[in-house]
């Protein structure tokens, strides 16, 4: 009897421990974000730092975004045509491709790719800098690593994400156009005009843009925090990198649901 | 990687991103067909607006001439007050009538304007005199059934 | 105890009643130390006694639980951030691994503090950087990346970076560990030369007794959070405290036990 009670007590204490651990981490990451915000104004006179990071965060992610965007668009074209042709409404292919890319697939898939490509390299880079005492040495050189290392990466992430998502959607739409109009014979005029009629600038386009900015914000934040908070050993850095990608992907998907539920007008 | 080529690549990236944004905004969404120029506002009072929305289209002879910019309920007259934003280069006579139509059987609702014959034109702040309420499908079906029964 | 805050006092750094705990582990317990201007002071102690922690406390990267540390008359833990950063510009620190910024060349690493804190023209920066690199004998390596350097070279580059802003003091964190005898000799000579020619105050934290005592003006021995012994190298060599002897002569057993604290051996083997 007592052994059963002990098992239950152990279980409870495990749950409690991981709960406390979780909240401590959330608290630290919010503290991290606040420190980061305070460091942002110091970037104004140093746009060169942001440009350097735009290269490693944005430019390095373009290829994977282009390729994925094209394939997603091609598949959307095929699948969409296949479904719509049954209802004799293959002229709505543009609507389907455009809406799904702009509202959902563009921001979400780009954010997942972003977390995998740019986020992981940010985490690994910061973790390595911590493990080799580079943050400490900057502090001792009277240089604030938040101002010189973390803030420019954060801003570069927020700028890159909406641009990457737009590139993804644009390439995807062209891919859908290629399959639908080029291969399957949907009328080009109908493709574009149907799309224009049903994609609203504010409700759909801006919604997608806001989403991608929000995703850029969160996934960059998580990636940077994981790197900054990593255990400064080789094992700690690799674990932080994996953890960063997993956390960022989950948070992006959850956030996507919340934003969609809040903004989708159901009238 | 030299500083200059980094700058060039970043430049390419940012302009490609902005170009994609503009392409989507102009080519894919309805931004280009939305009136961005000057408009004038007139009001119309409808007994029932059905499922008319802010930004619903306003058409005359099937041509887009403006959009609904505001909808409110007037508790003095127990009716809906709709504000119409009409492109300023399109003029309508004072006795123009407005009706709410549905595009297709189940499509979106829009306001159709039918010009009258007055010498004077509608101006900013005017109220359209003749406004037909939306045709409510349920009512119509009900009426038809009633007619059938009374036959 | 009164703390001398006179800028011209003989000691550049004075540590008073310092206590620091990490979790339940006591790292420092009521420690007093003084570091004289223009002298090389060496802090000796076994691994894991918090020698690096002491340097971080002096650099105000960590806050003590009790006690004060004055650097050049200023209480480092009471300074607002901006003044602390001003002070740090005059404090060089050499990290164990060098801690060079991995995405910058050797030249840019040494130029980094100059670019961050001065508005010198590019020609002047180049001139200064090459001068500092020449001082550590690595002017030829200016174009290399940190990953292309050996451990000893990385430390020398880091040293060039530490003296870039002409600081009043340099703290060395385990500068000799993991070095082959040759680069060890180079570093020892370099530290001594820099101290004498630039009029620096040097603080060396190490467990390499021989190298350290060859250049030290004054030695502190710390263990178990306490200063066990202190004095000039000659005095310490004559000291007959058991602990001092054990550490300086490298005896395997003594007051510092070879065994990590454990229950009785036989009892542990037999069980219960």
What pLDDT, in 10s, does the model give residues B52-100? Answer: 877 778 888 888 888 888 888 888 888 888 998 888 888 888 888 888 8
Q: Supply φ then ψ for residue B135, to 5 degrees.
A: -85, 120
Contact B99, B56 (CB under 8 A): no
The DSSP bridge pattern shows strands C218-223 and C226-231 to be: antiparallel
Inspect the interface and report whether the beta carbons of A133 and C99 lie closer than 8 Å. yes
Q: Give residue B59's domain range.
A: 39-142
Ordered by start, the domain boundaries in chain A are: 48-263
What's the CA angle centered on B73, arms B70 and B76, to 5 degrees? Answer: 135
User: Tokens in use for A146?
Assistant: 């938040």
B10 vs A199: CB contact, 8 Å cut-off? no
Q: What residues in C contact A141, CB-CB < 8 Å? A: 88-89, 112-113, 116, 161
pLDDT at residue number B106: 57
Q: Is residue C134 part of a domain?
A: no
Residue in A153, A185, A128 with CA at minimum distance from that of residue A50: A153
Q: Is residue B147 part of a domain?
A: no
Question: Could you tell me how far CA B63 lies from the centroid of its own chain?
Answer: 11
pLDDT of residue A1: 67
Task: Look up residue C125 and give its two tokens.
Answer: 């920066």
The whole-number pLDDT of residue C5 equals 46
- B86 within some domain: yes
- How many domains are contained in chain C? 1
**A167 touches B17 (CB < 8 A):** yes
Give yes or no: residues B16 and B56 share one domain: no
Task: Tell which of B6, B11, B13, B34 to mutate to test the A interface (max A CBs under 10 Å).
Answer: B13
Optimal mutation site among A165, A199, A206, A207, interface B, most CBs of chain B within 10 A: A199
> In chain B, pLDDT over 90 holds for what percent of residues?
8
B27 and B68 fall within a common domain: no
Residue A261 contacts C where some CB pair is shorter than 8 Å: no
Q: Could you give the ipTM of this predicted complex?
A: 0.82
- Region C18-43: mean pLDDT is 85
Residue C1 has pLDDT above 50, yes or no: no
Q: How far apart are CA C200 and CA C176, in angstroms?
A: 19
**Portion of chain A with pLDDT greater than 70, in percent:** 99
C130 found inside a domain: no
Q: Tell me, yes or no, whether chains A and C touch by having 3 or more C-beta pairs under 8 A.
A: yes
All residues at 6 or more sequence positions from C186 whose CB lies less than 8 Å from its CB, including other chains: C137, C152, C156
Mutate to test the interface with B, among A167, A211, A213 (most CBs of B within 10 A): A167
- CATH code (residue C57): 3.40.50.300
Low-confidence residues of chain A, pLDDT below 50?
A: 267
Largest CA distance in chain A: 77
Residue C105 falls within a domain, yes or no? no
**What pLDDT is stored for residue B68 in this prediction?**
85
**Residues B99 and B71 occupy one common structural domain:** yes
Does residue B148 lie in a domain region?
Answer: no
Residues on chain B touching A52 (C-beta within 8 angstroms): 6
Region of residue A245 (phi > 0: left; psi between -120 and 50: alpha; otherwise: beta): alpha
Same domain? B79 vs B13 = no
Tokens at A98, concatenated:
């455009």
In a domain, B151, yes or no: no
Q: Flag whether B150 is in a domain.
A: no
3-state SS track over chain B: CCHHHHHHHHHHHHHHHHHHHHHHHHHHCCCCCCCCCCEEEEEEEECCCCCCCCCCEEEECCEEEEEEEEEEEECCCCEEEEEEEEECCCCCECCCEEEEEECCCCCCEEEEEECCCCCCECCCCCEECEEECCCCHHHHHHHHHHHHHHC
B30 and A164 within 8 Å at the Cβ level: the answer is no
pLDDT of residue B31: 67
Domain tally for chain B? 2
B88 and B14 together in one domain: no
Give the model's pLDDT for residue B141. Answer: 81
Q: What is the DSSP string of chain C?
A: -PPP--TTSSEEEEEEEEEEEETTEEEEEEEEEEEETT-EEEEE--TTSSHHHHHHHHTTSS--SEEEEEETTEETTTS-HHHHHHHHTTEEEE-TT----TTS-HHHHHHHHHHHH----HHHHHHHHHHHHHHTT-GGGTTS-GGGS-HHHHHHHHHHHHTTT--SEEEEESTTTT--HHHHHHHHHHHHHHHHHHT-EEEEEES-HHHHHHH-SEEEEEETTEEEEEE-HHHHHH---HHHHHHHHT-SSSSS-SSPS-S-HHHHHH--
For C203-242, the pLDDT digits (tens) are 888 888 878 888 888 888 888 788 888 888 888 777 777 7
* Domain boundaries, position C197: 11-90+167-270
Average pLDDT, integer, range C118-141: 87
Q: How far is CA A64 from CA A116, A132, A165, A248, C3, in A?
A: 10, 30, 12, 18, 62
Q: Is C177 on the interface with A (CB under 8 A)?
A: no
In a domain, B62, yes or no: yes
User: Are B55 and B129 in a shared domain?
Assistant: yes
B44 & B105 share domain: yes
Question: Are 3 or more Cβ–Cβ pairs between B and C shorter than 8 Å?
Answer: no
| End-to-end CA, chain B | 88
Model pLDDT for residues A70-119, shown as the tens digit of each residue:
999 999 999 999 888 888 777 788 888 998 999 899 999 999 999 999 99
Asked whether residue C52 is domain-assigned, the answer is: yes
């Amino acid at each position: 009897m007592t052994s059963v009670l002990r098992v239950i007590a152990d279980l409870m204490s495990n749950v409690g421990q991981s709960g406390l651990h979780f909240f401590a981490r959330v608290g630290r990451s919010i503290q991290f974000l606040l420190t980061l915000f305070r460091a942002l104004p110091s970037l104004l006179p140093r746009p060169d730092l942001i440009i350097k990071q735009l290269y490693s965060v944005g430019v390095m992610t373009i290829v994977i975004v282009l390729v994925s965007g094209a394939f997603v668009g091609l598949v959307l074209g095929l699948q969409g045509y296949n479904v719509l042709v049954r209802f004799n409404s293959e002229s709505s292919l543009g609507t389907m491709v455009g809406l799904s890319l702009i509202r959902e697939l563009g921001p979400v898939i780009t954010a997942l790719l972003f977390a995998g490509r740019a986020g992981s390299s940010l985490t690994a880079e910061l973790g390595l800098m911590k493990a080799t005492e580079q943050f400490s040495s900057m502090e001792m050189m009277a240089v604030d690593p938040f101002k010189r290392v973390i803030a420019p990466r954060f801003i570069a992430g927020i700028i890159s994400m909406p641009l990457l998502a737009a590139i993804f959607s644009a390439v995807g739409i062209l891919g859908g156009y290629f399959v639908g109009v080029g291969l399957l014979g949907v009328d080009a005029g109908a493709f574009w005009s149907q799309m224009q009629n049903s994609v609203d600038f504010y409700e759909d386009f801006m919604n997608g843009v806001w989403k991608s900015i929000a995703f850029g914000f969160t996934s960059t934040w998580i990636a940077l925090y994981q790197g900054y908070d990593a255990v400064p050993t080789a094992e700690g850095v690799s674990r932080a990198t994996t953890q960063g990608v997993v956390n960022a992907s989950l948070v992006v998907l959850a956030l996507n649901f919340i934003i969609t539920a809040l903004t989708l007008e159901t009238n | 990687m030299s500083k200059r080529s980094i700058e060039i690549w970043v430049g390419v990236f940012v302009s490609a991103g902005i170009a994609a944004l503009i392409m989507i905004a102009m080519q894919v969404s309805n931004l280009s067909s939305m009136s961005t120029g000057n408009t004038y506002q007139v009001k119309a009072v409808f007994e029932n607006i059905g499922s008319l929305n802010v930004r619903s289209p306003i058409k005359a002879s099937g041509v887009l001439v403006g959009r609904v910019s505001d909808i409110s309920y007037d508790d003095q007259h127990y009716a809906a007050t709709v504000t119409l934003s009409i492109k300023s280069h399109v003029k309508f006579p004072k006795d123009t009538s407005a009706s709410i139509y549905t595009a297709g059987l189940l499509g979106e609702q829009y306001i159709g304007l039918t010009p009258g014959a007055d010498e004077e034109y509608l101006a900013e702040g005017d109220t359209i005199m003749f406004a037909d309420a939306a045709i409510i499908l349920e009512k119509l079906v009900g009426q038809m059934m009633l007619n059938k029964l009374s036959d | 105890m009164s703390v001398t805050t006179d800028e011209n006092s003989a000691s550049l750094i004075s540590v008073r009643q310092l206590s620091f705990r990490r979790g339940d582990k006591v790292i420092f317990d009521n420690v007093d130390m003084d570091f004289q201007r223009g002298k090389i002071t060496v802090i000796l102690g076994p691994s894991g006694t918090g020698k690096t922690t002491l340097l971080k406390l002096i650099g105000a990267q960590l806050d003590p639980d009790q006690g004060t540390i004055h650097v050049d008359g200023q209480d480092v833990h009471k300074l607002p951030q901006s003044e602390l950063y001003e002070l740090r510009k005059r404090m060089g620190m050499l990290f164990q691994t060098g801690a060079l910024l991995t995405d910058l060349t050797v030249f840019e690493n040494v130029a980094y503090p100059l670019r961050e804190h001065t508005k010198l023209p590019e020609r002047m920066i180049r001139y200064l950087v090459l001068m500092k690199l020449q001082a550590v004998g690595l002017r030829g390596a200016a174009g290399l990346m940190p990953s292309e350097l050996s451990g000893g070279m990385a430390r020398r580059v880091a040293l060039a970076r530490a003296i870039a802003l002409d600081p009043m003091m340099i703290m060395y964190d385990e500068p000799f560990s993991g070095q082959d005898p040759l680069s060890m000799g180079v570093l020892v000579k370099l530290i001594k030369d820099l101290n004498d020619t630039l009029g620096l105050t040097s603080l060396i934290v190490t467990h390499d007794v021989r190298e350290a005592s060859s250049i030290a003006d004054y030695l502190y021995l710390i263990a178990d959070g306490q200063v066990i012994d202190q004095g000039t190298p000659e005095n310490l060599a004559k000291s007959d405290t058991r602990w001092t002897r054990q550490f300086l002569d490298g005896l395997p057993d003594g007051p510092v036990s070879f065994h990590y604290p454990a229950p009785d051996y036989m009892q542990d083997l037999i069980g219960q």
